[in-house]
Structure 1
Amino acid sequence: MTDLSEGYSDIAIDHFEHPRNVGAMDEATVVGSSENPASGASLELYFKLDEQGIVDRVTFMAHGCAAAIVAGSVSTELLKGRQLDKGITRDELAEALDGLPPSRKHAYRLVTDAVQDAAASVT
């Protein structure tokens, strides 16, 4: 079991223990993925977009570490209702999670890269 007591905020722990919007989505309009070869962590974001490219629904699948699960979970809450091509920033993720431990900040990049990957697939 991962020990989250050191360095993770209560918000991050809650997202790890109760991840939101987890799972693949069959009706996804587009899927974005990213990975961190150094850590072995990976993330897939599944987006259901409306006609204007607004995120109507988003789910995630994460593998590799607690931080990837936490970042994937919170990103689904932040991205709903947004224009996909506007993306999300590391600062937004950090603020929503009240930060991550320094050695786990790669999880922010997993999210931003997956969003960029999905946005690049939409034409």
Structure 2
Amino acid sequence: MFTSEYTDTVIEHFMCPRNVGIIDDSNGEGKAGDASCGDSLSIYIKVEDNIIEDISFLVYGCPASIATSSMTTELAKKKTLEEALSIGEDDIIDALGGLPDHKKHCSNLGVKALRSAIYDYLHEDKK
């Protein structure tokens, strides 16, 4: 069983992930993937007045990828775009209470997909 290598917070976000799904009227979408393990993540954001009012995700991956994706959305929700852009891999790992060394790369997906969604929103062609 994988429980011995993960914190209770990781297990909680894996078993009951927050903000799962697609936001139909999102105004930013970002994607990230890790070719070494096959995980992929899409993040959808709804921005109003420079605040991420809503955020969701779809992920294909291991328990750590699911948990880091869920935590990424929790950290970014109701933040300004600038605050959300400052979220880093260590912030996600710390919020989960840690990850095994061989799973820390999963936090990269959340950061990359979140930043990609924000840049998608900011892209001038979208406005």
What is the TM-score with the length of structure 2 in the denominator? 0.88
5+ residue gaps in structure 1?
none
Residue identity (%): 34
Q: Deviations over 1:37-90 (max 9, x none)?
A: 010001111101003x21001011110211110011111111011122442111
Match of 1:60 in 2: 57
What's the secondary structure of 2:11's corresponding residue?
helix
Match of 2:35 in 1: 37
What's the secondary structure of 1:6's corresponding residue?
helix
* 1:15-34 to 2 correspondences below 5 Å: 15-34=13-32
Query: What count of residue pairs does the alignment treat as equivalent?
Result: 120
Contact kept? 2:72, 2:111, Cα under 8 Å: no
* 1:67-86 to 2 correspondences below 5 Å: 67-86=64-83
Structure with bigger helix share is 2
For the aligned residue pairs, the C-alpha RMSD in angstroms reads 1.2
5+ residue gaps in structure 2?
none
- Provide runs of 4+ in structure 1 moved above 3 Å: none
What is the TM-score with the length of structure 1 in the denominator? 0.91
